[in-house]
Amino acid sequence: MSKSNNKSVVPEAREALNKFKMEAASEVGVDLKQGYNGHLTSREAGSVGGQMVKKMIESYEKNMK
């Protein structure tokens, strides 16, 4: 695991977020690997983040009904 200044209050949250990120990457066709992904372009990284936000908003809207 790489060094990071991001401390999770709930350790299980990091694992869940990593799984969520991998699912989002798969959905947008980005070859994301565990660990460092320095080979990604800004566009690819942005598309993964954008997909994650899209799914979070959809989940929030679904739970509001």
* pTM of the predicted structure, to 2 decimals: 0.77
Q: Which long-range contacts (CB under 8 A, 24 or more apart) does 5-14 make?
A: none
What are the tens digits of pLDDT across the range 6-27?
666 788 898 999 999 999 999 9
**Token pair for residue 25?**
């990457």
Cα gap 16→30, rounded to integer Å: 19
pLDDT of residue 30 exceeding 70:
yes
Percent of the chain having pLDDT more than 70?
88
In contact, 8 and 14? CB cutoff 8 Å:
yes
In contact, 2 and 36? CB cutoff 8 Å:
yes
pLDDT of residue 3 exceeding 60:
no
Burial (CB count <10 Å: 0-12, 13-18, 19+), residue 20: middle
pLDDT of residue 2 exceeding 80:
no
pLDDT, mean over the chain: 90
